[in-house]
Amino acid sequence: RFVDLPAGTYSARVHPHGSRVDTIALDGENTQQIELLLAGWGYIIQSDTIDSRAQSDETARRVQHQPGNVAVRPPDDDEWAQRAERTVKQSRVRCAVAGYKSLPVYAYSGEWRSETVETGSALALGEFACEIDVAGCPDDECTVTVQGVVDDEGEPVALTAYVPLNRSAIPFVRFTRQSISARGRAAQSVLDGQVISEMEPGQIATVVLTDQQGNRRQQPTTKGGSFEFAYLEAGLYALVVLGHETTTQIADLALDGQNRVTVELRIPRPMPEPPEAAADGNGVIVGIIPSGEGKLAWLVDSVGNERSAELDADDQVRFDQLPADVYTLNVEGGYKEANLRIQGDKGMEVYFA
């Protein structure tokens, strides 16, 4: 609140990370009320009403904080009085983190701690929602903690919320990240997609988002390979999978502050080293078939001599000590490659798609 201001036109802004309002006209006597947004993470506690006594809970309570941290606001005297009047204790707490799935969430109070659940596990409540069982909490309040969120520099951000339980409605904690655009409006674009690769099932990749100012955000994929960056302002963005920068980068993704763009990031199958010629001067032929482990392969030279072997766990079969000749490579399942010419000191690789 600013008081005793002379007549004039003013601007107000949140420094250093927040919105700005210009051309605030004062005549020396009037009062102007404005709304400013603070960039960073915060939370709202809403209530799913289950009886008439919960009507005073229907209004969400917003908690603001310094960028990068979530401040817990202790209840005031009125809230303590309201708590004393209510005897209903909730056995569930609902939670959502806007734009994030598969983040670990749990509640605790003193030495008690709930089972860990993941955001996005309660789709009936919302795309990013989960529900925590707090029936065992010995107190009338608990703290909800979300792990796995990182800031623009890749540093972990602790998301916590103080949640009263002795209400006649189920608390619903909603964590949101406020991003402020150059025009002072909250950014609402979403950039999501899928990382497609031949990684082991359940293996998690890390996706890095870079804006046109060079600011970076990174996020682990879900076990299914999906990712989502939400609340993005208008501009050009680039995506890349960490550790696969050369082969997965997608640049110049245009967002207007409101749209949603979906992409696929493909990690190519690593190519094996080309076979080396045998030390004694004989040649080598290597055959590769995706998912071909255990298939029978046979190599036939120009006069009908045949050698056979099975594809190994790397989906490869290798025939070495080959004299100069023209060969035909056959693999169970109808695969065939003819006219493979070995000069006696050369290696050759055949890749069946």
Residue 183 lies in a domain: no
Report the distance separating Cα 11 and Cα 158, nearest Å.
Answer: 33
Max avg pLDDT among 68-72, 164-168, 170-174, 322-326: 170-174
Same domain, 26 and 48: no
Residue 274 lies in a domain: no
DSSP 250-316: EEEEEE-SS-EEEEEEE-PPPPPPPPPPPTTS-EEEEEE-TT-TT-EEEEE-TTS-EEEEE--TTSE
Q: Show which of 235, 266, 297 is a domain's final residue.
A: 266
| Span 133-169, pLDDT tens digits | 999 999 999 999 999 998 777 788 889 999 998 877 8
Residue 277 lies in a domain: no
Instruction: Give the chain's mean pLDDT.
Output: 80
pLDDT bin (cut points 50, 70, 90) of residue 111 is very high
| Span 184-218, pLDDT tens digits | 455 688 999 999 887 666 678 899 999 888 888 88
Read off the CATH number of the domain in which 326 is found.
2.60.40.10
Residue 57 pLDDT exceeds 50: no
Same domain, 105 and 138: yes
Same domain, 45 and 167: yes
Residue 103 pLDDT exceeds 90: yes
State the residue range of the domain holding 93: 40-178
Q: Show which of 115, 148, 178 is a domain's final residue.
A: 178
pTM for the model? 0.40
Within a 10 A sphere around the Cβ of 80, how many other Cβ atoms? 11
Same domain, 225 and 261: yes
Same domain, 95 and 205: no
| Span 273-320, pLDDT tens digits | 555 544 445 788 899 888 888 899 999 988 888 888 999 988 899 988
Name which of 66-75, 218-227, 258-267 the model is least confident about: 66-75
Number of domains the chain contains: 4
Mean predicted confidence (pLDDT) in 38-42: 77
Same domain, 22 and 71: no
SS3 at position 35: coil
Q: Show which of 212, 241, 266 is a domain's final residue.
A: 266
Residue 276 lies in a domain: no
At 290 the pLDDT is 85
Report the distance separating Cα 278 and Cα 114, nearest Å.
Answer: 62
SS3 at position 172: strand
Read off the CATH number of the domain in which 215 is found.
2.60.40.1120
Same domain, 102 and 193: no
Helices marked H in the chain — which ranges?
77-85, 245-248
